[in-house]
């Protein structure tokens, strides 16, 4: 699942390449992911509009269009974006293709068809938009405390649901909890002030370090997902790089959670 660091790199790559480009043609090969919130016709309404910028909000990639409209892409679990020559081979299960005035194309592929490509006149109409928390890098420690206060559930769930803080998904929640030395299934209400400080610091450092790494590793190949540098996520059964113990792996509700029981003690604590 593309998360904040992945989408930041995609935004960095696409912004200077797409800004000012006119979408000359739109092809919808698999309409399952398309959400036309304007009711005016997805392909007809987009064709001829100019991309003015590329932005990110939470786990959404936003392409503001002129005249006023927004194309919003939520990659969900398996969505990928491909930018390049129109003659380049499409990724498997390409759903939508946008032909650009400069001769290149932007494609959205999704092997699980779980993502959404929205066309909207107002971003407020995008499901979940109004419930989205602030961006991690916009938070101070005091604001972070305030954002966490209403939530009583497990730390990982609080981080990933997007209402306390936007843009964090399954993989980076594991990494943040590990860096903060907090068990992902600890209740938010069980955290001491010192642990909240650690969680805030880990949120900032893990996401910023990941962006730096991905900027170097991904380059302009935005269709690639690079996760082999992660410390614990996806490494169940391997040795913890800190203590040498075995990294635990739990699969529940179609979500993988990895952590070190030694470095992240505790678990479920009821208060």
- Specify the pLDDT at position 229: 97
Location of structure tokens 């302009």: 220
Q: What is the pLDDT of residue 103?
A: 94
**Is 8 annotated in the active site?**
no
Mind listing the pLDDT tens digit for each residue in 162-205?
999 999 999 999 999 999 999 999 999 999 999 999 999 999 99
**Predicted model pTM:** 0.95
Of residues 2, 5, 64, 136, which has the active-site annotation? 2
In this prediction, residues 225-248 reach a mean pLDDT of 97
Check 30, 57, 227, 255 and give the catalytic one. Answer: 255
Active site residue 150: no
Confidence at 266, pLDDT banded by 50, 70, 90: confident
What band does 252 get if pLDDT is binned at 50, 70 and 90? confident
CATH topology of domain 136-260: Helicase, Ruva Protein; domain 3 (1.10.8)
**Mean of all residue pLDDT scores within the chain:** 96
Q: What's the CATH code, domain 4-130?
A: 3.20.190.10
Pick the catalytic residue: 49, 56, 59, 156? 59
Go through 13-51 and write b for each residue having 16 or more CB atoms within 10 A of its CB, e for each that does not.
Answer: bbeebbeebebeebebeeeebbbbbbeeebbebbeebeb
Report pLDDT for 268. Answer: 52
Are 139 and 60 in contact, with CB atoms under 8 Å apart? no
Positive or negative CA dihedral for 147, 153, 155, 161? negative
Domain spans in the chain, listed from the N-terminal domain onward: 4-130, 136-260
Residue 2 designated active-site: yes
Residue pLDDT, tens place only, 71-126: 999 999 999 999 999 989 999 999 999 999 999 999 999 999 999 999 999 999 99
């Amino acid at each position: 699942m593309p998360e904040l660091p992945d989408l930041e790199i995609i935004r960095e790559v696409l912004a200077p390449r797409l800004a000012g480009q006119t979408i000359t043609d739109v092809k919808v090969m698999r309409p399952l992911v398309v959400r036309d919130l304007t009711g005016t016709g997805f392909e007809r309404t987009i064709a001829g509009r100019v991309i003015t910028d590329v932005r990110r909000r939470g786990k959404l990639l936003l392409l503001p269009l002129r005249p006023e409209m927004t194309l919003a892409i939520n990659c969900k679990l398996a969505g990928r974006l491909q930018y390049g020559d129109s003659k380049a081979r499409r990724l498997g299960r390409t759903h939508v293709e946008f032909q650009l005035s400069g001769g290149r194309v932007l494609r959205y592929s999704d092997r699980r068809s779980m993502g959404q490509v929205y066309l909207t006149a107002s971003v407020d109409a995008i499901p979940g938009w109004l419930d989205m928390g602030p961006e991690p890098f916009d938070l101070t420690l005091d604001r972070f405390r305030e954002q966490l206060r209403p939530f009583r559930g497990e730390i990982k769930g609080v981080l990933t649901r997007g209402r306390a803080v936007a843009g964090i998904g399954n993989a980076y929640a594991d990494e943040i909890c590990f860096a903060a030395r907090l068990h992902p299934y600890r209740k938010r209400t069980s955290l001491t002030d010192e642990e909240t400080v650690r969680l805030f610091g880990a949120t900032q450092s893990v996401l910023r370090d990941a962006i730096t790494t991905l900027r170097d590793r991904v380059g302009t190949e935005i269709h690639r997902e690079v996760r082999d540098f992660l410390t614990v996520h996806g490494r169940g059964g391997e040795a913890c790089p800190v203590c040498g113990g075995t990294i635990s792996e739990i699969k529940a509700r179609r979500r993988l959670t990895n952590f070190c029981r030694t470095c992240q003690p505790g678990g479920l604590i009821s208060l």
